[in-house]
Amino acid sequence: MTTLAEFSIDSHQLLDEHGQPTQETWPAFANDVEQLRHLYRLMMLNRLVDKKAVALQRTGKMGTYPSSFGQEAIATGIAFAMQEEDVFVPFYRDYAAMLHRGMRIEEIYSYWGGDERGSCFVNNPRDFPFSVPIASQLLHATGVATAFKLRQQPHVVVATCGDGGTSEGDFYEALNVAGTWQLPIVFVVNNNQWAISVPLSKQTQCQTLAQKAIAAGFSGVQVDGCDVIAMQMITEQAVTRARSGQGPTLIEAVCYRLCDHTTADDATRYQPSIEVEAAMAKEPIRRLRTYLTQQGAWDDQQEQALSQDIEQQITQAVDNYTHQARQPLTAMFDYLYAELPHSLIAQREQVA
């Protein structure tokens, strides 16, 4: 017998659920207290924007909304690992990264309020809008990465999906072409344990989702998705490899969805309460706040000031969202094609 291939998957954690370092050596950015405060502020912005969005939906001021409660560290780590010229191709829980990269709060609310102008980012038109279809955005991301490679541009694409996305054919197709062509792309899987009501155990028999990269010819790595420091470190490493021509990486960020799948869902019908309680104790914001507080770098006064500042931003954003001029019915035809196909021209004229 001859062994043709063997592989292993590394798992990374730097800050445990009690807010304690798990190793003596940290990445350089984690020794900068102000940088850790930036990470904390962005996660808090994500959470409070998220909370308001749910409230807007519950009061009939917005459509169905997917929360990111408990998953803020993933998008935050991604945000600080990317450069401005890179391109972010998100799925629908990546608010922190999108806000950090210039998306306005009211654009989030507009999109989920059914206004396609929310997908036209005033401050960062390079990044892609939310993708609701599952995993199809990963193929779009490989197209962008191919363009970067052909043009010999030193840019990287970071594309995300949920654990459910890894069960889709588009996921495997994207990984295959990325590995074959050695594209400058990083795939990040938000493994929050649930694809709507389907647990991970009913999706795959793989020990990890990270190992799915091996069949595509590149490396996969697992990270504690509630540890924002580890999340930034691992994403930075993957982005650096991609930028230097060393090809793609798959990052599996393990966390837990502490919310309904969307506001149209009731997760209490299928998530075991004891499991949710255990996951709540590991959530990312409390974890980093504990560490900062123990280092004398955060206190109640700073927490109150931050909350007040974010609330003011949100109040202004809600006002901008609720008072923007309504679009005409013909707008439903105006945001998909550069030139309308003949079959839609007649329909648009009829609506007009």
Catalytic residue at 37? Answer: no
Active-site residue, from 93, 100, 257, 287: 257
Task: Count the Cβ atoms, other than its own, within 10 Å of residue 61.
Answer: 14
**Which segments of the chain does DSSP mark as H helices, in order?**
33-58, 72-81, 95-100, 105-112, 136-151, 169-180, 228-243, 273-280, 284-294, 300-322, 342-351
DSSP, res 129:
P
Catalytic residue at 287? Answer: no
**Which segments of 164-272 does DSSP mark as H helices, in order?**
169-180, 228-243
DSSP, res 185:
E
Catalytic residue at 100? Answer: no
Q: Give the span between the Cα atoms of 12 and 252, in whole angstroms.
A: 10
Active-site residue, from 47, 101, 104, 261: 261
Pair type for strands 198-199 and 194-195: antiparallel
For residue 171, give both structure tokens: 């996921």
Active-site residue, from 18, 58, 270, 335: 270
For residue 169, give both structure tokens: 């054919």
Q: 230 with 14: CB under 8 angstroms?
A: yes
Sign of CA dihedral 341, 342, 345, 350: negative
Q: Return the active site residues.
A: 257, 261, 270
